Amino acid sequence: MSISAAVAGATGLGAHITTQLLANPSVSSVISLTRRKHEIPEVSPKYNNIVNAETSTWYNEFHTALKNAGTSIAFSGLGSTRAQAGGLENQRKIDVDLNYDLAKAAKETGTVKTYVLISSGGADSKSFAPYMKMKGELEDKLIGLKFERTVILRPGFLMGDRGERSRMGEGLAIGLVNATTMLLGNWLKDKIAAEGPVVARAAIKAGLAQGADWKGDENGVWIVDQSEVIRLGKSE
C-alpha cells in the first residue's frame, strides 16, 4: 500500500507528524504547507514543503498540490495563540477559518478520503471559553464536510517543544504536571497531558487504521480522546 499524505501547519506539533510520516515506509510522498520553512533532520526525496507566509493563497496552493499528488490523507496541526495572532478575532481567522478552508480544499480534490485534525481536550462549540469554543466550532465544520473518514484528536496539555504555540496558562499547567510527575510518576501525566511525538504517532495510527483497528462511528467520525491518544501513541 502506497500512501500520499499532506500536513497543514508542519511546524510545532505538525513537525512531529511530518517527520514520522516521512519515516513510514507505507507513505510514498508528503506535502506540507507552512508559513516558514520546515527543517527536517534528513532531506527526503518524497518531501515537498510549500512555504508561503501569505496565507490568503493557501487554499489554492493546498488544493492544487494535493490534487496533483493524488493525496489520500491529510493532517492538520495548524493553530495559533491569541498573543501570537494579535487578538481573539485574528486567532479565530487561523484556528477556525483557515483550518476549515484547508479542509475544504482537501475535500474538493476528490482524492482525500481521510482528514485528521489535532483539536483539544474540552473542545465544545457551546463552551463559554473562547479557545474551547473555537476548537469545537472547527470540529463541527470539519464533520460537516463529510469525508469518508474524519479523525479528531482531543489531547490534553501538549508537552515538550511546541515552538511559538505555547500559551502562558498552559505553560504553567505543564510546569505543574512536570513537578507532580517527578513525585508521583507518569500516571497523572498520562491522564491529562501528552508529548508531541506521542500525539503525532496517535494521529498517524488512527488516520491509517484498517479493519478492526478503525474505531469510527457510522458517519466515519472517530473522536480520539486523551486516553486513546496515549494508548495509540505509546503502543508499537
Interatomic CA distance for residues 54 and 141, integer angstroms: 23
Interatomic CA distance for residues 98 and 30, integer angstroms: 20
135 is catalytic: yes
Interatomic CA distance for residues 188 and 202, integer angstroms: 19
| Three-state DSSP class for residue 79 | coil
Give the cell for residue 172: 504553567
Give the cell for residue 83: 498573543
* Pairing between β-strand 221-224 and β-strand 114-118 as defined by DSSP bridges: unpaired
Between the CA of residue 183 and those of 97, 116, 178, 191, 235, what are the distances in Å? 42, 35, 9, 15, 25
59 is catalytic: no
Catalytic entry in 100, 131, 189, 205: 131
Catalytic entry in 47, 100, 135, 205: 135
Give the cell for residue 157: 496539555
Interatomic CA distance for residues 121 and 119, integer angstroms: 7
Give the cell for residue 18: 511530518
Decide: 27 and 51 in contact? Cβ < 8 Å: no
In one-letter notation, the amino acid at residue 219 is N
**Residues designated catalytic:** 131, 135
